[in-house]
Structure 1
Amino acid sequence: MARYQSTSPSEESRKKTPTKSKPKFSGRVHILGSGNMGVFIAHALRTRDSPPPVSLLLHNWGMYEAFMQRKKRIAITYDGLDDIQKGFDIEVNTGPNNKSGKWYQMPPLYGQKYYEDGTKIAEEDMAEPELTREPIDCLIVTCKSQFAFIGLRALFHRITPDTTILFLQNGLGVVERVNELLYNDRGWHPHYMQAVLSHRMDKKDAYAVKFLQTGAISLAPAATQAISKIPAEEDTNWPPTMKYLTRLFTLTPPLVATASTTTDVLQSQLEKLAVRCVIDPLTAINDCKNGELLHSYSSTRIMRLLLFEISSVITALPELQGVPGIDDRFSANRLLRLVTQTLHRNSGNTSPMVHDVRLRKSTEVEFFNGYIVRRGQEVGITCTMNYMIKHLVHSKKTINRRAEDAQIPIDTGDDEGIYLTGKHEEVENDELGIEDEYV
């Protein structure tokens, strides 16, 4: 059976890459993202009998200070009991808005005055942070979709053709965006994997997570729209770093991870995306909890219209043509049942997009509804509802920002101040490298 080709560079493109002395494979795992998923994965890897070296990539000093306050430990709460792990290495980015590629390796004793036993640390033993340019072998990206490109841009000089990057996000389209903006003219790109996670967790504090329900992680090479006729069992193109990362995940019990096919992971991602395309933007626009959507007739009408478009786009995607049962799995009625079940199960929760809009932060809507709009254009389907919802979220956030900005006068030396204004939405899309070409 044909399967979809991974995004691993071809032999021809790899030959174009300048030949250098190949550094020894370190086995180190770098994690970009300190949310629930990143914290959970970092903690799980350290529970192994022979844990790999794990480096947490923190994008500012504030995150490092928060980690110091936790005594450089990560805690996962299972059934009311804290499971604490330590031994993580830390790298901090010092550039403004993560645009700098300067990462500093933090010494184990940096910022401490005493050892754990209370003994005072001698001044000569307190090393200073060192600039690191160490190539990255395995990178796990768990930050939100809108921040993934910015983070990878800061790591650009440390990523090689042998690097494997595992994307673990709710949104889709990140791999294409990274390839287009960072590697389009270089003749090579790193190896990409994607994963979907169904564990349920809740954040307690910085680097502290409450584990709610066991799920699973499925991972596979990321897909392109090209078709490979090589059977999966005969595919020998997996690079060492991809094999290593896959084995690391599947042999770490707390992760409950399995290596799956590219098509299966993509279907799970699209199923999850369809639900998030409805719940997140509608709760953000209405500034409400998930369950409140069930009590609004108008909201249920909007849900149906959104899902009709989403269903039409997904079932028309070229990479899913020929997959058995695709029309039934992604029918609008089945997707509506999934949305309704999710709303009932999490009725008292508030979606992440609501929090982002309230705090005037950028949202994942470009990688939720925006992804559906862009893929719809590719297959000739006009997604009017998803396009409108996407811009309503942008509008809501911009209005909130302007309302806050209007309360902050700037002293210009005159008797009357001026007030902060700005095209926040345009700046955000420029950072993401997204052009809105919808007509």
Structure 2
Amino acid sequence: MLERIAARDGALHAYETVMAESALAEAASADRNLAAGGSRGPLHGVPLAVKDLLWTHDAPTAAGMAIHRGFRAGEDATVVARLRAAGAVILGKLAMTEGAYAGYHPDMTVPINPWDAEAWPGTSSSGSGVATAAGLCYGSIGSDTGGSIRFPSAANGLTGIKPTWGRVSRHGAFELGATLDTIGPMCRSAKDAAAMLGAIAGADPKDPTALLAPVPDYLAGIDGGVAGLRIGVAPAFMALGCDDDALAAVEGARDLLRTLGAEIVEIAFPDASQILRDWFTLCAVEAASFHADTFPSRRTDYGSILSTFLDIAAGVSAVDMHGIAVRRLAFRGRVEAAFAGIDLLLLPVQGLSGPTMAGVLEAAESERGIANLLRYSCPFNMTGQPTITLPAGATAAGRPVGVQLVGRHLDEALLCRAGHAMQKASDWHRRRPGPSAQH
């Protein structure tokens, strides 16, 4: 893996920091433990990498920000500590957007999508998506505040889990939006993602918002299939802004699920237009709170995209925030009601399939374009529900297209089971971005 990173990452820029010395030491330790009969589980000895917003005691954590380059925490983030406890080898820290928002700091290098250099690599967790797709790690950790596990998973042909809010500890993670942020795995298959989620999920005394619910064995029932499950689809919701490739991917996934024995049920999804606008305001205020020690006092150290976003908070009143809180609770209740007759909901990841980087920047200039990017992601950060993103198609240019399954709170085991069933019956997750990224 280290040789592969050295040979290939100069063109892809997925890594912010390669931790070669510590990775070799961890690999040697894993070998010794295995030789002594001390296997720690399915991640023992597996080379993984983590997004550069998670603290590591032995490497800097910049969170995509020039202002934090060189910052070293005195401890590992809980997620990193749990991966290491599970025997994983941490190869390094993966590149990301500034502060986990939408744009890259001008001093940071943008990761390159290995499928197509012109294609969008996804947003905040782009380094995680690129490294995993290009075979520069066997799995990675991303974070998702409005789509940043789902977008790069879809863009790079990966499987990603955005867990229930609080299912995975956020201790030692730079914040974007505290009540929206989730941390989860990005892998090549649902089974790999289930193994990683099982290692990192659970209560944490260092994070009082981490849920106390017991963590199931996500691998134990993963072969249970989908026969008898009721899978919801929302035609009117999808008709609001999906291109043909996004619709085709959903239709293909729907037909596959039906073939595997699931019942497809049409539902009416609640109007999400206001909650999408509320997401922007809420996230801006929460981000401004986190950055209060350095912004606006050190504005010149920030890139224009993040600083413009943080400026939104100055015009938001307490009355505005109360309205958002009330509408958020109401929307969550309406979504729960929509799930009353279904087990999972099948949706696009985004309305724009395989966009170029230029296309995303153009879309971001209009409210409609932003809505088409975020309509199917942000609502589930506002409700806190878990999702799994699965590769399910390709554009005419060969860029990956993903779909997502959405579950009820803490229903990650069912999401893993459904994703695995689909992947046993299809090969989208086995496709790689050309000979240069093959193993």
Q: TM-score range by the shorter chain?
A: 0.3 to 0.5
- Structure with bigger gyration radius: 1
Structure with the bigger RCO (C-alpha within 8 Å, sep 6+) is 2
Larger proportion of strand = 1
Q: TM-score, normalised to structure 2's length?
A: 0.32
